[in-house]
Structure 1
């Protein structure tokens, strides 16, 4: 009888240990991860974020940043884009290009002069 009690106690202990490892390393198949869903192909998510945004000054339409003037809007991808302020309070974001620093600025200047 004692032997059966010890045997069941050990079996429960081993099961608990392996159950712990199953949970830690994703075993057991009890929880299934769902594949991420694609975002909708319309603008409902953007419009919802835009409508929830509060700004007392100017709300940048592309980044939803709140700034004092439209030309102060940041670029959406500053590590990949250079920002240039144009006349009349406008700004553009241009992909950083070329292998030299300032290549995007050179192209913007050529475009301003009508040479590009």
Structure 2
């Protein structure tokens, strides 16, 4: 991605394979972390050891609850934040959690037995 001066932007990307049994999200094993950061975007992918269709409802409800907790459990979060929308490109869902980003939940394109929980923002 070009930077504000039109030149290639400085960024980092990293992947960490986690020791089995060390990290879980809502009781679901996290097997890998993938991160990418620059001045204009940031994304952390938590690779979960479970099929998307088996955990989508549970995780979507969890993310929405966490988002709404920041707005005192109201349905009137600003600008439609905390609403769940379809993400056709990744065959999953997107929950906007702030002005610049949100959470994407979708099957791992490289391994259908895994799910991606992506926390991302972009300018």
TM-score by length of 1: 0.23
TM-score by length of 2: 0.22
Higher strand share: 2
Q: Which has the larger radius of gyration?
A: 1
Higher helix share: 1
